[in-house]
Amino acid sequence: MERGGGLWVEPGGFHIDPVRPVDRAVITHGHSDHARAGHTHVLATLPTLDIMRVRLGEGAGRHQQTLDYGRPLRIGDVTVTLVPAGHVLGSAQVVLEHGGRRVVVSGDYKRQPDPTCAPFEPVSCDVFVTEATFGLPVFRHPPAAAEIARLLHAGQLFPERALVVGCYALGKCQRLIAHLRDAGYDRPVYLHGAHLPLCELYRRHGVDLGPLRPATAADKEEMRGAVVLAPPSALMDRWARRLPDPLIAYASGWMRVRARARQHGVELPLVISDHADWDELCQTLREVAAPEVWVTHGAEEALVHWAGLNGFRARPLHLVGFGDEET
Amino acid sequence: MDRFAALIDALAYQPSRTGKVRLLVDYFAQTPDPDRGYGLAALTGGLSFAAAKPALVRELAAARTDPTLFALSYDFVGDLAETAALIWPARPGSNQPPPTLAEIVGALAGARRAAAPALIEGWLDGLDATGRWALLKLITGGLRIGVSARLAKTALAEWGAGRGTAVTVDAIEELWHGLAPPYADLFAWLEGRGDKPDVTGGGGFRPLMLAHPLEEADRAGLDPAAYRAEWKWDGIRVQLVARTLGQPRLYSRTGDEIGSTFPDVVGHLAFDAVLDGELLVRRDGAIAPFNDLQQRLNRKQVTAKMLRDYPAWVRLYDLLMEGEEDLRGLPFDARRRRLEAWFARVRPTGMDLSPLIPFDDWPTLEDLRAGARDNAIEGLMLKRADSPYVAGRPKGPWFKWKRGPLTLDCVLMYAQRGHGKRSSFYSDYTFGAWRGDDGPGGELVPVGKAYSGFTDEELLELDRWVRAHTTNRFGPVREVAPGLVLEVAFDSVHRSSRHKSGVAMRFPRIARIRWDKPAAEADRLETLERLIVT
């Protein structure tokens, strides 16, 4: 199954999320550990292709083909349908039908509400390929609104400090902004340069994010008490020195575990993730009711164990190269 | 409980002191009685539960979870209480309201031992993950969140001041030991709803009078005849509170009760007075180095061997109360006469008087200070003859004039990111001295760590140097090529089995950055070893 890395779909002659450049690739979503540069033919949803073009430029693929959600497409002996995965804008599960059997490759997914992308749709199938980034029962993401409320409360307690939140540039950043707007936060949100192009892209796809400003161009004074979003790597670096007495927050599912939060030197850990937590993983396995489950990237062992206890035939599927970038 | 849990969760991640104070003030303002009082008690060590051992936490979690999943989770999380809090599956259909802190305290106080597990299980069902974590940490006695009792009281004073009650942390310290959880009268007073609580006659703590370091510039303007000099003994400042009625108490300089760690001192408090002194270890008639006292500090269990090997001693500085008479308003000279007379009359065991050092002018005193080779002496204290005993650190009446520090040229080995404002800077430095062959065959062995003594500009330069000379990274730590010499100042050096080098410095700080000096010319470990106090 694993020629170019990712998943090799023999009867269709294509890979899903290959790690190395291949002839034909179906891409589930735009995160860089899934959407790599240099494939010849690339099939994905329109937003995913847009994201790849913004991030990879020329490398986004010589021949790019858009496939909308829910539209079956024949490739070789396989019928391919893309179905929303609820992970980030454009993210898709790949539904493969061949010889009367249905395999669903879910890619990365989540079940929590996300105002910036279409929600996950469970598809019943014979084989379900699931991620397991947070595949341990200690990972249960609280409602995002509660975490946002903690962030805003910190802003009231420390009105003279910038609330800088470390978050991934694609998906998490836009989702945080959307949740902030839902919570009534109407001040401009200040952004690290790496976050601007993707917010612009989300806007073009109809996701309203309210007023946004580049943090580099902003006056130090106006960022007091304001939310600033930046890639996690910038938080502890010299970039953060431009901010007024930054209060360092970090939005990630890993923040659930204290040792992880401390490792990152975080003052305010926010448990907000774009991956399914333990309960969502179990709920999803039950809903798609596939007798056979393949578990990839993450804590495979625990989820395979749970699946076995609950009557699924489950096995780990070791894919190289995933989970390197996005958490 | 939810508020308390949110508070200690936030405190655990909050690096700065002012940030912690702000979180505490917010908690006192937002939390109703009696919960905030029990929260305050939990933070100041006033709640002690023997309700649960780690084994019980494990049993409760095991009854609800699959053993393989629990083991994998514990392996990942690394902390039992935290694992149990995170993994805890609420009983289906249970929608118990979260318990209040007061409810928990009350129930555990009244419960028989056997009833505790069922109570705890019910509370775990009612709380969220943060609440469960806080509960388990609280009842297993593992609240380690970097908040001292003093800091909690500081926040309390700040909050009270914000509510219009003129109050200092020292005023709260004076009341503190006469009050009990949930401190309703204290909160009422701070909120302006009640009178100041009356605690006269209790075994209360009187906040200490502290000294400023003496700067060269200060000394020129001081009249030697107006000051008295004493040795500054190298132990810990304590206050002895001995009352005819009530328990004798021993307090640290911050007002923490340390009597249970020093039963040998408390056993000698058979009089009616409040005294200020230095706690030391004294063996065969001589004061032992600070390192020996360190063996006695912060011990929950005091063994007979410890009492025998490191016998405690108190050297008295001042007399604050004699019977019911408060002497703090008297001038130093008058208090000193009273102290000497009291000592001659009472002849307390296990203590002596810190002698006054006669001197006529500053040069004489400077010679004495330079010549003091006694390990138990940190330097000199200067006290104005007419100074009343005032809480806190007023500028002018008392000075400490420490012996010049020792210094060593060390080589920077590792740098770690700081916290809070310094989180983008490599500001904590581990440095080493050479060992083994002279020259290229030698190895650097770490001898200490320092994060102060440099200016903000120097910090910028150090940070830049660290980034440019990194050879290895371990999370927040960078290893650097041996190329930068730091002149490190320290008060003394002791043998230590906990450090690879076998030595530990006391109060190391960066005295100078020796940009000019080649690393190979830095000092050797043997040089440091020769300075060890025995």
Taking contacts as CB-CB distances below 8 angstroms, the residues of chain B near A305 are 66, 68-69, 72
Q: Quote the tokens at residue A66.
A: 């858009």
Q: What is the CATH number of the domain that holds A150?
A: 3.40.50
Pairing of strands A78-84, A73-75: antiparallel
CB B181 within 8 A of CB B40: yes
CB atoms within 10 A of CB B256: 14
Q: Going by C-beta distance under 8 Å and a sequence separation of 6 or more, which residues neighbour residue B139?
A: B49, B51, B52, B104, B108, B120
Residue pointed to by tokens 């009867």: A11
CB-neighbour burial class of residue A237 (10 A; exposed 0-12, middle 13-18, buried 19+): middle
Per-residue confidence (pLDDT) for residue A2, from 0 to 100: 46
How many Å apart are CA B30 and CA B489, to the nearest integer? 45
Per-residue confidence (pLDDT) for residue A322, from 0 to 100: 47
Side chain identity at residue A56, one-letter code:
L
- Overall domain count for chain A: 2
Residues in chain B whose Cβ is within 8 Å of chain A? 6, 10, 12-15, 19, 22-23, 26, 65-66, 68-69, 72-73, 76-79, 82-83, 86-87, 89, 128-129, 417, 419-421, 423-424, 475-476
From the CA of A138, how many Å to the nearest CA of chain B? 4
CB A261 within 8 A of CB B13: yes
CB A286 within 8 A of CB A130: no
* A35 & A98 share domain: yes
Residue pointed to by tokens 């009990």: B180
Taking contacts as CB-CB distances below 8 angstroms, the residues of chain B near A257 are 76-77, 82, 86
C-beta atoms of B87 and A138 within 8 A = yes
SS3 B408: strand
Per-residue confidence (pLDDT) for residue B63, from 0 to 100: 93
Residue pointed to by tokens 């990712």: A6
DSSP B425-489: SEEEEEEEEEESSSGGG-EEEEEEEE--SS-HHHHHHHHHHHHHTEEEEETTEEEE-S--EEEEE
* A229 & A109 share domain: no
Q: Is residue A323 situated within a structural domain?
A: no
* A255 & A156 share domain: yes
Q: Is residue A59 situated within a structural domain?
A: yes
DSSP B205-267: --PPB--EEPPHHHHHT--GGGEEEEEEESSEEEEEEE-SSS--EEEETTS-B-TTT-HHHHT
If you count them, how many residues does chain A have?
327
Q: Quote the tokens at residue A62.
A: 């010589």
C-beta atoms of A158 and B19 within 8 A = yes
A133-A138-A144-A145 Cα dihedral, nearest 10 degrees: 180
* A34 & A125 share domain: yes
Q: Is residue A324 situated within a structural domain?
A: no
Q: Going by C-beta distance under 8 Å and a sequence separation of 6 or more, which residues neighbour residue A285?
A: A128, A130, A293, A307, A310, A312
How many Å apart are CA A252 and CA B194, to the nearest integer? 47
* A134 & A181 share domain: no
How many Å apart are CA A72 and CA A75, to the nearest integer? 10
Q: Is residue A54 situated within a structural domain?
A: yes
From the CA of B473, how many Å to the nearest CA of chain A? 13
Q: Is residue A325 situated within a structural domain?
A: no
* A101 & A163 share domain: no
Q: What are phi and psi of B297, to 5 degrees?
A: -75, 150
Residue pointed to by tokens 């100042």: B489
How many Å apart are CA B270 and CA B267, to the nearest integer? 7
Q: Is residue A160 situated within a structural domain?
A: yes
Q: What are phi and psi of B286, to 5 degrees?
A: -120, 145
Residue A181's nearest CA partner among A248, A250, A227, A235 is: A227
C-beta atoms of A309 and B15 within 8 A = no
SS3 A19: coil
Taking contacts as CB-CB distances below 8 angstroms, the residues of chain A near B129 are 140, 142, 256
Please list the residues that pair with A293 across neighbouring strands: A128, A314
The CATH number that domain B406-529 falls under is 2.40.50.140
Please list the residues that pair with A131 across neighbouring strands: none
The chain A residue lying nearest B419, using CA atoms, is: A265
Residues in chain A whose Cβ is within 8 Å of chain B? 136-140, 142, 150, 154, 157-158, 235-238, 240-241, 245-246, 248, 256-259, 261-263, 265-269, 299, 301-302, 305-306, 309
CB-neighbour burial class of residue B346 (10 A; exposed 0-12, middle 13-18, buried 19+): middle
* A79 & A189 share domain: no
CB-neighbour burial class of residue A225 (10 A; exposed 0-12, middle 13-18, buried 19+): middle
Q: Quote the tokens at residue A260.
A: 């992880």
Q: Which of A256, A268, A299 sits opposite B86 (nearest CB)?
A: A256
Per-residue confidence (pLDDT) for residue B200, from 0 to 100: 62
Per-residue confidence (pLDDT) for residue B297, from 0 to 100: 86
**Domain B212-402 class in CATH:** alpha beta
pTM of the model: 0.79
Q: What is the CATH number of the domain that holds A303?
A: 3.60.15.10
Alpha helices in B313-435 (DSSP H): 332-346, 362-371
User: CA end-to-end span of chain A, whole Å?
Assistant: 25
From the CA of A21, how many Å to the nearest CA of chain B? 31
Residue B61's nearest CA partner among B8, B6, B140, B4 is: B140
* A132 & A281 share domain: yes
Pairing of strands B227-233, B249-252: unpaired
Side chain identity at residue A140, one-letter code:
R
Structural domain span for residue A195? 144-270
C-beta atoms of B78 and A259 within 8 A = yes
Q: Is residue A1 situated within a structural domain?
A: no
* A41 & A121 share domain: yes
Domain with CATH 2.40.50.140 in chain B: 406-529
Is 0.90 exceeded by the ipTM? yes
**pLDDT 10s digit of each residue in chain B, 534 long?**
999 999 999 999 998 899 999 999 999 999 999 999 999 999 987 787 666 788 889 999 999 999 999 999 999 998 899 999 999 997 777 777 899 999 999 898 887 878 889 999 999 999 999 999 999 998 887 777 778 888 999 999 999 998 888 898 888 988 888 888 999 999 999 999 999 888 765 567 888 999 988 877 788 889 999 999 999 998 999 999 987 767 889 998 877 889 999 999 999 999 999 999 999 999 988 998 888 898 898 787 899 999 999 999 999 999 999 988 999 999 999 999 999 999 999 999 999 999 999 999 999 998 888 877 676 888 899 999 999 999 888 888 999 988 778 889 999 999 998 876 777 889 999 999 999 876 655 889 999 999 998 988 899 999 999 999 999 888 789 999 999 999 999 988 888 887 888 888 988 999 999 888 888 889 999 888 888 866
A125-A126-A128-A129 Cα dihedral, nearest 10 degrees: -130
Burial A68-106 (b: 16+ CB within 10 A, else e): ebeeeeebeebebbbbbbbbbbbbbbbbbbbeeebbbbb
Can you list the residues of chain A whose pLDDT is less than 70?
A: 1-5, 319-327
A243-A249-A252-A253 Cα dihedral, nearest 10 degrees: 180
C-beta atoms of B13 and A269 within 8 A = yes
How many Å apart are CA A120 and CA A241, to the nearest integer? 39
Domain with CATH 3.30.470.30 in chain B: 212-402
* A301 & A246 share domain: no
- Tell me how many degrees the CA angle A8-A12-A15 measures, rounded to the nearest 5: 30
CB A21 within 8 A of CB A38: yes
The half-sphere exposure of A287 on its side-chain side, counting CA atoms within 13 A, is 13
Residues A179-234 pLDDT 10s? 999 999 999 999 999 999 999 999 999 999 999 999 988 899 999 999 999 999 89
How many Å apart are CA A39 and CA A18, to the nearest integer? 9
* A244 & A132 share domain: no
Q: Is residue A182 situated within a structural domain?
A: yes
User: What 3 state SS string does B37-67 have?
Assistant: HHHHHHHCCCCCCCCCCHHHHHHHHHHHCCH
